Amino acid sequence: MTTMTPQSGTALAPAAYGTMQWGGTADASAARDMFAQCLDAGLNHFDTAHLYTEGRSEEMLGALAGTRDDIFVATKAAYDKPATAANLQASVDLSRKRLQRDVIDLLYLHRFDPTTPLEDTFAALAALQQAGTIRYIGVSNYAAWQVMKAQAIAAGLGTRIDALQPMMNLVKRQVEVELLPMAADQDIQVCGYSPLGGGLLTGKYAVTGADGRLAFDHRYAARYGQAWMHDAAVGLAEIAAGLGVPAATLAVAWMRRHAPQAHPILSARSAEQLAPSLAGMDYALDDATYAAITALSPTPPPATDRIEEA
Q: How far is CA 263 from the centre of its chain?
A: 8
Distance CA 191, CA 203 (A): 23
Q: Is 185 left (phi over 0), alpha (psi -120 to 50) or beta?
A: alpha
Distance CA 71, CA 105 (A): 9
- 3-42 b/e (C-beta count within 10 Å ≥ 16 → b): ebebbeeeebbebbbbbbbbbebbeeebbbebbebbbebe
Known catalytic residues are 52
Distance CA 16, CA 175 (A): 18
Give the number of other CB atoms < 10 A from CB of residue 234.
14
Reference 190, options 135, 147, 249; nearest CA is 147
Q: How many residues does the chain have?
A: 310
Reference 232, options 247, 245, 218; nearest CA is 247
Amino acid at the residue 86: A
